[in-house]
Amino acid sequence: MHWLDVTAIGEELADRHPEIDPTLVSFPKLKALVVALPGFKEEPGHPCNERILEAIQQAWIDERA
């Protein structure tokens, strides 16, 4: 799993952190939560940016709905 796997990351965050409201998570905290996921690995040429974090946050929100 890497930064472009936004749907899988959103699903994993929803499963691992049901107590967290994703709408209240800051981007620095979100990035830390993603990097801490088992199986997550940053890939060269696919850095994290605000657009990716927004997509991950939305995937997490959608998964909780």
The per-residue pLDDT for range 20-44, each reduced to its tens digit, is 999 999 999 999 999 999 999 998 8
Q: What percent of the chain has pLDDT over 70?
A: 100
What is the span of the domain harbouring residue 28? Answer: 6-64
Residue 41 lies in a domain: yes
Residue 1 lies in a domain: no
What whole-number distance in Å separates Cα of residue 25 and Cα of residue 54? 11
Looking up residue 38, the CATH number of its domain turns out to be: 1.10.10.600
What whole-number distance in Å separates Cα of residue 39 and Cα of residue 55? 19
Residue 12 lies in a domain: yes
Residue 55: both structure tokens together? 């997509």
For the stretch 2-15, pLDDT in tens is 999 999 999 999 99
Look at the chain and report how many structural domains it folds into. 1
What pLDDT, on a 0 to 100 scale, did the predictor assign at position 65?
83
pTM of the model: 0.93
Q: In the chain, helix, strand, coil percent, each to 5?
A: 60, 0, 40
What whole-number distance in Å separates Cα of residue 59 and Cα of residue 40? 16
